[in-house]
């Protein structure tokens, strides 16, 4: 499948000095328009300057549509609310990567292939053994993912569809095993091998929480809740980590290397690491006597670097549709697991205060996907530093779909932004004795 191109729908005029240049305006299927500046530098000598890329479209894409003003999120045209209610994570993975919902036979075939690749090479045990016990699981996951390319050199064949297909299946199959083993290493328990009789999310729970000495039965409601979180995380168009995957992949680095870079980008607390930061904040509030207002005031103070993790989003300026679904699920999971809901209660109060506070209202800061997801991971039993690993497992099909679309697109070039240089003008080298 190649990317559909946006349609040319008009022209924009850019006047500069005594010259004016016409720039094509292109429009996508949902009516979003963009000025195509592909010839700007050649015709005017100018480039555009947009730190943080808030006004820059880096590609055309047919994978995910989101409208931040209206709180709309769709994968391949299907509303997230419908997928969350009726689909499964592996079906959503298929949809994102191949563009259409699978038939029963296609889905069974996909699940079968993914399931067959869940084991990781036995040599990788040494790899886990050699990390310090307090290694952050995101570091281990990123390192483990890129190291898969040492075992599967066919991943270098990025234009060979057969090699790409097997790499995709291996990645989806093995990421939960890598994630669970990074956790087992950290707590000093034996690594648990995958059980291919279990579904995808149930298998992750099995590898995380079972021990050889005891019977462990996966709670189906909990596995379903985890599957839901993975669906909600599965793609989010050109966010920081997806753009990283595309950027690294645009140099023709292999898929394992590109995904590993995406995992590192996701780790940051402004991106996927926010789910861990949210729980840290809620715990601090509880330990501090539950004074929610104090932390809201700190977040508003321009002289305090503290921000309310889980609030705000670059694109959503009304509400994050994923947060609504997750909040309802958090309520259900907490009741099902009987987990201590003190943090949930503080989270709800925090949301209530922030949503009515002028600072948050003016800046359109609403709870995002990470605000309640950490509470569900915590109720399931995941330690805080594993939350972002789970997010990475969920985001994997999106990263793969973005990489595949980029590699298959005729528009793709190596990603190489320009800059406006503001450093020293040319000067003579001064020998060390004279400085
Ligand atoms: N708490 C307090 N103030 C905030 C927050 C917050 N969480 N988020 C934004 N602001 C303020 C910010 O200080 C700025 O105020 P002012 O105009 O007075 O300078 C204004 O709101 C606009 O913020 P920005 O930083 O220019 O917005 P951005 O689009 O660059 O950043 C963001 C988006 C998500 C990085 C930011 O809202 C944030 O840091 N949130 C907390 C971290 C978080 O929850 N990240 C997860 C995002 S969703 C999942 C994902 O991407 O993985």
pLDDT per residue as tens digits for the range 301-348: 999 999 999 999 988 988 899 998 998 888 888 887 777 678 888 998
pLDDT tens digit sequence for 85-97: 999 999 999 999 9
The predicted pLDDT at position 340 comes to 64
> What average pLDDT score do residues 161-184 get?
97
The pTM assigned to this predicted structure is 0.94
Identify which of 312, 322, 355, 359 to mutate to test ligand 1's pocket (most ligand atoms within 8 A of the CB).
Answer: 312
* Residue 299 CB–ligand 1 contact under 6 Å: yes
DSSP state of 191: P
The predicted pLDDT at position 334 comes to 82
> What average pLDDT score do residues 121-147 get?
93
The predicted pLDDT at position 52 comes to 96
Reduced to 3 states (helix: H, G, I; strand: E, B; else coil), residue 73 is strand
Q: Which position has the higher pLDDT, 343 or 402? A: 402
Q: How far is the CA of 182 from the centre of ligand 1 (A)?
A: 30
Examine the residue annotation and report whether 136 is marked as an active-site residue of this protein.
no
Contact status, residue 8 vs residue 25, Cβ threshold 8 Å: yes
| Cα–Cα distance for residue pair 153/167, rounded to 1 Å | 10
pLDDT tens digit sequence for 221-247: 899 999 999 999 999 999 999 999 999
Confidence of residue 139 (pLDDT cuts 50, 70, 90): very high
- What integer best gives the mean pLDDT of the chain? 93
Show Cβ contacts of residue 32 under 8 Å, excluding neighbours closer than 6 positions.
none
The predicted pLDDT at position 2 comes to 46
* Residue 274 CB–ligand 1 contact under 6 Å: yes
Residue nearest to atom 10 of ligand 1 (CA): 312
Residue 374 in this model has a pLDDT that exceeds 70: yes
Examine the residue annotation and report whether 313 is marked as an active-site residue of this protein.
yes
Tokens encoding 186: 């950290």
> What average pLDDT score do residues 105-129 get?
95
* Residue 320 CB–ligand 1 contact under 6 Å: no
Residue 4 in this model has a pLDDT that exceeds 50: yes
Residue nearest to atom 27 of ligand 1 (CA): 314
Contact status, residue 299 vs residue 351, Cβ threshold 8 Å: no
Q: In what order do the strands lie in the sheet with 64-67?
A: 64-67, 72-75, 78-79
* Residue 309 CB–ligand 1 contact under 6 Å: yes
């Amino acid at each position: 499948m190649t990317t559909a191109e946006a349609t040319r729908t008009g022209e924009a005029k850019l006047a500069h000095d005594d010259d004016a240049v016409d720039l094509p305006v292109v429009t996508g299927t949902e009516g979003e328009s963009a000025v195509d500046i592909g010839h700007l530098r050649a015709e005017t000598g100018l480039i555009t300057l947009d730190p943080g890329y808030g006004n820059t479209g880096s590609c055309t894409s047919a994978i995910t549509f989101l409208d931040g003003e209206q709180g709309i999120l769709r994968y391949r045209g299907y509303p997230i609310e419908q997928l969350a209610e009726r689909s499964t994570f592996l079906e959503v993975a298929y949809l994102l990567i191949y563009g259409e919902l699978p038939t029963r036979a296609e889905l069974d075939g996909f699940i079968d292939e993914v399931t067959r690749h869940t084991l990781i090479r036995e040599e990788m045990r040494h790899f886990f053994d050699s990390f310090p016990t307090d290694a952050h699981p995101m570091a281990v996951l990123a390192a483990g993912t890129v190291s898969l390319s040492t075992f599967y050199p066919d991943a270098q064949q990025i234009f060979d569809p057969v090699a790409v297909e097997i790499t995709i299946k291996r990645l989806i199959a093995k990421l939960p095993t890598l994630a669970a083993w990074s956790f087992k290493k950290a707590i000093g328990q034996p690594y648990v091998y995958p059980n291919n009789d279990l579904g995808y999310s149930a298998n992750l729970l099995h590898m995380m929480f079972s021990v050889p000495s005891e019977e462990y039965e996966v709670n189906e409601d909990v596995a379903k809740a985890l599957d839901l979180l993975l669906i909600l995380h599965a793609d989010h168009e050109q966010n920081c980590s997806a753009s990283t995957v595309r950027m690294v992949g645009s140099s023709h680095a292999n898929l394992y290397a590109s995904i590993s870079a995406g995992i590192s980008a996701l780790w940051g607390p402004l991106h996927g690491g926010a789910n861990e930061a949210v729980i840290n904040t809620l715990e601090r509030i509880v330990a501090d006597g539950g004074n929610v207002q104090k932390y809201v005031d700190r977040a508003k103070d321009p002289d305090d670097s503290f921000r309310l993790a889980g609030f705000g989003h670059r694109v959503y300026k009304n509400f994050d549709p994923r947060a609504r679904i997750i909040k309802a699920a958090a309520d259900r999971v907490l009741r099902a697991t009987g987990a201590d809901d003190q943090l949930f209660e503080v989270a709800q109060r925090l949301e209530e205060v922030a949503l009515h506070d002028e600072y948050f209202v003016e800046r359109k800061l609403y709870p995002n996907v990470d605000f309640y997801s950490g509470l569900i991971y915590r109720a399931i039993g995941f330690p805080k530093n594993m939350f972002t690993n789970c997010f990475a497992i969920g985001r994997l099909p999106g990263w793969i779909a973005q990489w595949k679309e980029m590699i298959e697109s005729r528009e793709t070039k190596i990603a190489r932004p320009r800059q406006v240089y503001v450093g020293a003008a040319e000067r003579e080298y001064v020998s060390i004795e004279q400085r």
